[in-house]
Structure 1
Amino acid sequence: MNPARPAPDAAAVTVVGVGADGWAGLPDASRAALREAEVLIGGRRQLGLLPPECTGERITWPSPLRPAVPGLLAEHAGRRIAVLASGDPMFYGIGRALAEEDGALRVLPHPSSVSYAAARLGWPLEDVEVVSLVGRPTARLAAALHDGRRLLVLSADAGTPGEVAALLRDRGFGPSRMRVLEQLGGGRERTTREAATDDWRHPPGDPLNLVAVECRRAPDALRLGAVPGLPDAAYEHDGQLTKRHVRAATLGALAPAPGELLWDIGGGSGSIAIEWMRTHASCRAVTVERDPVRAERITRNAERLGVPGLRVVIGAAPAAIAELPPPDAVFVGGGLTAPGLLDACWQALPVGGRLVANTVTLESEALLADAYRLHGGELVKLAVAHAVPVGGFTGWRQAMPVTQWAVQKPRTTLNPLPGVDR
């Protein structure tokens, strides 16, 4: 055992997972922890499941919950605390917040609603994607929609199934099959009859529910893949859009990894930041756009494509990036000739961070050539041509070539990046 970590029986806080079957469904260890606790913290419904033999002081979580965690733990420090959680506390539950506050944590899990649902449906969990809409916008579900995939959606309340059905219809997945599973593991467990999303007519039911979706894309719906390079038609834009093939090459150079943060400078339609975030649910991005109309358009594109968490900052760089959290990668798609912009982005990057800049103008290309000479990396020219009708024949129409500089920041930097006043 690690001597730096307390033994389980010495934990200051015990987190007990409780199912819809309440006290009757708890194992002996969980019951003992609740009986011995001097303080019992949980939701009103959870606390109501406990019998009188649990004599600890009962405290209902305030709203909002997350900011209240440190204060409640500090207020009752030195007492035996038991926190009630739904199902598995470490799966989209309160366990995460408690673990971040108190390392001396003992967790007694219960089967999660996801485990119950997979058992009822006969779905192998490793083949299912779980999307939580508890405290999260419904729009984030859009990023998980792929033909043939199975989804288990954790509902916020009784209205969530209807919202899920509406989103599926709006995103071209009306033929998908849906079921709602309520009060899983309890005496009032119920599963609705399977129905196509286009025909979903079920009224709101129990607020403790989960939605099972078998995704089926409508034949005429736009196909959105799982890798960067979505069709240009997926975006609302005014012409300021990094086109599909260049976008795929740009995301390849940026190399997003789970949990990383991207700065997207000169957002345009937001395509680079959006597809960065679509690569993994934990990827984050901030896009900087000085035009308020375009900024609103970015927000709409992000919501439609399943990444409503994209942060949009209205302003001109470099001033607009001064207060942003440190990035793991930076993409500059516009404004390269703004004095000090490239250097400000470079200075903000940590060692190992990546910077990618694209341009179609000779003036900005000269800046990238200087940057490449000073700091290395890769300097490439991306040229794409499309086949178009030429009379009764077919010819090539060349798009404007894009010059791209991509570099990873080394451990030491001797020279600043070039500016327009070099």
Structure 2
Amino acid sequence: MKQVTIAGMGPGSAGCMTQEVCRAVKQADVLIGSERLIAPYTDQRTVKAVTAAEILRVVENEDGEHFTVLMSGDTGFYSGAKKLVEQLNGKYAYRILPGISSVIYFAAKIGVAWEQAQFVSLHGKKQPYLPVIMQNEYTFFLTQGNTAEICTRIAETGLGNVHVWIGENLSYQNEKIMHGSAKELTAYQAAGLSVMAVHNPKPGAFTGTGLPDDCFIRGSVPMTKREIRASVVSRIAPAKNACIYDIGAGTGSVTVELAMQALYGCVYAVERTEEGCSLIVQNAHKFGLDNIQVVHGSAAGVLEELPAPDAVFVGGSGGELEDIFKIILKKNPHVRIVITAVTLETVQEAVRLLEQNGFDTPQIVQIAVTEVKKRGQYHMLSANNPVFIIEGSSVR
């Protein structure tokens, strides 16, 4: 009966392989893996295969009893082992052997404890990483050699002084480790096999909900104020991978805070004014958010082209609230909807549409914020217009 061993080969050199992995390699009838991983084993039968489907075909078609699949790094860290196991389940017996990941090897090399660090893989996918750097002291990257681009983006966001380490060809004889500030390394292009670490000594800036209003770039476009924004975001409560619409996005203040919560999702900021769209782009760039898509136009005219939302915030409907409801409920009948209103007519229409479309009794609150402002030697109360927040979060 054919048996498959999925072996974590470590960062590269044979000296970083565990003894158990070495035995699995030596005892294999067939070694399977990428060209780089199988290249040293010229005295054994090897087959080049990378994807789970390719590897499964090799196991099915090649003669032999013991098949060892070589995986770079550790089998449990951004590895192809997960998809391979899905292919093998119920067909072949298998075991998984861990290895030393390149990131853990690198952490030891630069003397950084990694238990509180965050990890980002940029292998073959676009993943927002600037908010991760902003929110954490240490962030490690598996890069595709695009270190100059990463350092440039970090510096453009105002974090040019954070310390960066870049490790190339780790564990090999030509291993190389560079370090300096992000702005010093904006022109340094590393080799393809590279790992990067970033130390932000003051994490937590520009994170969470209820950011101060003066954090945002503002023009003449209306902006949802801090206290209202915090309540709206808490009611939407987006998942990390949520798809969210911000309709009537204005300057993008709500968009930004939603995008910080849904780091692995996407926030579509729908705004009809050119100035507003420009401000949203500027604020997204300021906060290092790559998971924001600005959509210029009226909601009724552009929503049809967007993917189905998990949640929708309507901060300004432009008189199209009924059309907005029709479109989003067709895309997702179980969508969570939060609406802000400053007139009783909008409140009435929002409640009618929620009830008409099968939502449970909407939750309605009114928030009236009064600030204390200094006028000469006195401190005076300055009241903002009250704002209604209407929430429809479940469907009967």
Scaled by the length of structure 2, the TM-score of the pair is: 0.79
Q: 1:280 to 1:319 in 2, by over 3 A?
A: closer
Structure 2, unmatched stretches of 5+, are none
Distance in 1 (CA, whole Å) between partners of 2:390 and 2:186 is 53
Q: How many residues are matched?
A: 383
Report the more deviating stretch, 365-374 or 266-275: 365-374
Question: 2:239 is matched with which residue?
Answer: 257
Q: Is structure 2 residue 77 aligned with structure 1 residue 85?
A: no
Distance in 1 (CA, whole Å) between partners of 2:277 and 2:56 is 42
Is this contact kept in 2: 1:276–1:283, CA < 8 A? no
Question: 1:394 is matched with which residue?
Answer: 379
Q: Is structure 2 residue 138 aligned with structure 1 residue 150?
A: yes
Q: Identity of aligned pairs, percent?
A: 25
Distance in 2 (CA, whole Å) between partners of 1:267 and 1:82 is 53
Distance in 1 (CA, whole Å) between partners of 2:172 and 2:152 is 28
CA RMSD in angstroms, aligned pairs only: 3.7
Distance in 2 (CA, whole Å) between partners of 1:119 and 1:306 is 29
Is this contact kept in 1: 2:217–2:283, CA < 8 A? yes
Distance in 2 (CA, whole Å) between partners of 1:205 and 1:354 is 44
Question: 1:409 is matched with which residue?
Answer: 394
Shift of 1:379: 0.6
Question: 1:46 is matched with which residue?
Answer: 37
Instruction: Deviation per CA, 1:323-375: give whole Å up to 9, x if none.
Output: 54433222122216314323443454454x42111122443222134357764
Q: 1:296 to 1:76 in 2, by over 3 A?
A: farther
Shift of 1:217: 5.0
Is this contact kept in 1: 2:12–2:73, CA < 8 A? no
Q: 1:343 to 1:164 in 2, by over 3 A?
A: closer
Question: 1:277 is matched with which residue?
Answer: 259
Is this contact kept in 2: 1:179–1:211, CA < 8 A? yes
Is this contact kept in 2: 1:262–1:328, CA < 8 A? yes
Is this contact kept in 2: 1:38–1:79, CA < 8 A? no
Distance in 1 (CA, whole Å) between partners of 2:154 and 2:311 is 33
Letter in 2 for 1:79: N
| Partner secondary structure for residue 196 of structure 2 | strand
Distance in 1 (CA, whole Å) between partners of 2:20 and 2:141 is 31
Letter in 2 for 1:345: I
Shift of 1:71: 6.5
Within 5 Å, give how 1:213-224 maps onto structure 2. 213-216=198-201, 224=205
Q: 1:326 to 1:170 in 2, by over 3 A?
A: closer
Distance in 2 (CA, whole Å) between partners of 1:378 and 1:216 is 42
Match of 1:58 among 29, 48, 51: 48
Match of 1:244 among 205, 218, 226: 226
Structure 1, unmatched stretches of 5+, are 1-6, 62-68, 413-422
Letter in 2 for 1:169: A
Match of 2:210 among 222, 226, 229: 229
Distance in 2 (CA, whole Å) between partners of 1:363 and 1:156 is 54
Match of 1:118 among 96, 103, 107: 107
Distance in 2 (CA, whole Å) between partners of 1:388 and 1:110 is 60
Question: 1:420 is matched with which residue?
Answer: none
Distance in 1 (CA, whole Å) between partners of 2:57 and 2:296 is 41
Is this contact kept in 1: 2:371–2:382, CA < 8 A? yes
Question: 2:10 is matched with which residue?
Answer: 19
Shift of 1:243: 2.2
